[in-house]
Amino acid sequence: MNKKDIQCIFIGEQSKLYSDLVRSLCKFDINVQVKLVDAEKNYILFALKKLRGSGLVFISDDIKFSLDVLSDLIWQYAPDAVVVVLTTDKNSLSSSTKKPINPHFSKLHFKSSSDKSQLFLQCLIQTVKFKTEFRRCKRLLGVSEKRCLWLVESSQEAIAYITKDLHLYANASYLALFNAESSEQLRSISIKELIGSKEHLVFRRFLESQLKRCDTNRSLVLSMKKCNGVKFRANIHLIPSVYKGKKCLQLWVSELNKFDDFPKINSSVKERTNDDKVDDVNTHSPQLTHSPQLTRSPWLEKDIVKAVNENIQTTTPNPFSVLNEGAEVSVETPKVDPSIIIVELLERKEVALSAQKLVIMKKNEQMDEHHQLSLVINEEQKKGVEGLLFEPLTATLLKQKYVFWDKVKFTRLFQILRKKSKLDAFLVIDVSVASVSDGAFTQWLVSELARLGAKSYHLVFLLPSKLKARELKLVIDFSKKLKRYQCKIALNNSSMSNDFIKVLKYIRPNYIHFSSDWIKQIEGDDNREISLGSAIRQFESKNIRVIAPCGASLPMRKVFTLAGASFCQEKAIK
């Protein structure tokens, strides 16, 4: 409706009176849209439903229609409408309804020649315009509130909506920062419980000052503690906001604690110094070109051997000689602590992460970059380490081998991410079933994600989709723990089957990566290709992104493209 358009509904047959009213309204340079309706409930109801926004509803007091019923209809179907009862009684200018629900429900003794009537009509027109603009502003504020909430939900900053001393809502970064399991847990905790007792007064004064006069550049540094009791220094901002129509405050929290560059994996190894540096990690990804500088031990290797084997015979050969190409492994080599091997491995620049960029198949959509990561290590070194740690190879040691290489891979990744101020791309990295079922590995990974903070939002974990019953339960628990830290979940080597649908139902991934072997099996089968395309469209419509496998033929590539898959592996990772 334009600003100069006024919709008017005239109830009943009062042709002369209504004609005079329309002529008087047109004098105010407005476009009057007139609709005459019979004084029956169904006709009035239909007209009110067609009324867009605000408008004027006129009814004469000599028409036999209950004003109480009309008031109820106005309140239910056109709450912004202004109702005017035309009366011939000069002394009765107030509503006769028993419950005047609508405040703009009044009476008018109308005469076209009367200045008071003209002034009254002018006020009615202004009221309708104000109500129309108010409704438009309210709608735009609602849209703005929804957009703001969406930005808060997807933000890497720790943000919560608070009122008085309670939490109304907290995003995933806020939950991860305070080590809370859910927003429901935070709602049961007072904000003062998260702040040092000596700083309650400072926080309250800061809150009151921001309510009186908001300054977005002002911040407050104070001591806070997480739900598990761990204390830290934080920088907070308070910004007046609205959440679900309720006036409140946005609380932004930034942790000021500085963590060490490298995790202390084994306390028996002496601390490293910064005398020597190793080159950056080799990577093909633009997101990982600036890797952390890892410190190399100033000791000689023979001194390391002595430190590692304090309780072993001095004739024991050097356990790190297997890291050199072509080295032979002695059968009598004793087992050493794998964490020490990880430290020594990661000090070698040839042990790196390579990244393969996933090709975006939706050319007309703006999508974030995704890189799939893998560990790069010399085969001779890898065989030497496995021979040292996992020979003779048993079923138990086989699982430990998978866990060991996953820990090497993730330790390198976390070293790189802690050095970066922010991430622009999503990093896809696979996890073995053995690591998922290893409680110590899971606990270590969760602790590293907590230290990583909001950057964990950009991690996509490739979990296996072909699982046994016991493995499925472990993967479900593992994925729930990852989602608490905003991590994304992807199912690897997927194929459409009843078992896959069951896994999909319980894990609810963000990505699905189809198996290249399964794609080759269904190639040429029209019915199965049509079913695959239909499944891809359903996944994408539910915001589950589909990754086409590497090496798919041109016809199968077209199936993924036409079905609307998001990504494709262009080449195998090397």
End-to-end CA distance of the chain: 62
> Measured between alpha carbons, how far is 78 from 415 in angstroms, rounded to an integer?
61
What value does the mean pLDDT take over residues 234-257? 86
Q: Report the phi/psi class of residue 293: left, alpha or beta, with left for phi > 0 and alpha for psi in -120 to 50.
A: beta
Break the chain into its structural domains and give their ranges: 5-147, 155-255
Q: Are 237 and 219 in contact (CB under 8 A)?
A: yes
Predicted local distance difference test score (pLDDT) of residue 104: 60
The rounded percent of the chain whose pLDDT value lies above 70 is: 80
Q: Are 352 and 282 in contact (CB under 8 A)?
A: yes
Give kind and range of the element (H or E) at residue 479: helix 469-483
Cα dihedral sign, 364-367-369-372: negative
Element (H, E) at 175: helix 172-177
For the stretch 545-563, pLDDT in tens is 999 888 778 888 888 888 8
Query: What DSSP character marks residue 453?
Result: G
Sequence-distant (6+) residues with CB within 8 A of 162 are: 168, 191, 248, 249, 250, 251
Which is more confident, 373 or 290? Answer: 373
What distance in Å separates the CA atoms of residue 535 and residue 546, rounded to the nearest whole number?
10
Model confidence at 487: pLDDT above 80: yes
Pick the CATH number of 155-255 from 2.60.40.10, 3.40.50.300, 3.30.450.20, 3.40.1190.10: 3.30.450.20
**Phi/psi at 73 (5° precision):** -65, -40
Q: Between 3.30.70.580, 3.60.21.10, 3.40.50.2300, 3.40.1360.10, what CATH number should domain 5-147 receive?
A: 3.40.50.2300
**pLDDT for 513:** 92
Pairing verdict, β 82-86 and 56-60: parallel
Mean of the per-residue pLDDT values of the chain:
76
pLDDT score for 335: 54
Query: Can you give the pLDDT at residue 512?
Result: 92
Q: Using one digit for the tens of pLDDT, what is the confidence trace for 123-151?
A: 888 888 888 788 888 888 878 888 888 88
Query: 559: closest CA among 496, 492, 490?
Result: 496
- pLDDT per position as a tens digit, 423-445: 788 899 999 888 888 888 888 89
